[in-house]
Amino acid sequence: AEIEQRVLPSSRTGLELLKAELGNRAGRVGAARLAWQKHVK
């Protein structure tokens, strides 16, 4: 599968894949948070 091709065996030990709770909005939420942090500081 994709994981075996892209992740080294030593890095897969204990690896757990979870579905993101924010779904497709995750990128926008992260970008907004980053912009807010840069503006506030």
In the predicted model, what is the mean pLDDT of residues 12-41? 85
Find the mean pLDDT for residues 30-38.
89
Residue 40's pLDDT is 82
* Structural domain harbouring 12: 2-40
- Check residue 11 and give its pLDDT: 95
Q: How many CA atoms lie within 13 A of 37 on its CB side?
A: 6
Average pLDDT score, the chain: 87
Give me the mean pLDDT over the 1-30 stretch: 87
pLDDT in the model for residue 23? 76
Considering its fold, how many domains does the chain have in total? Answer: 1
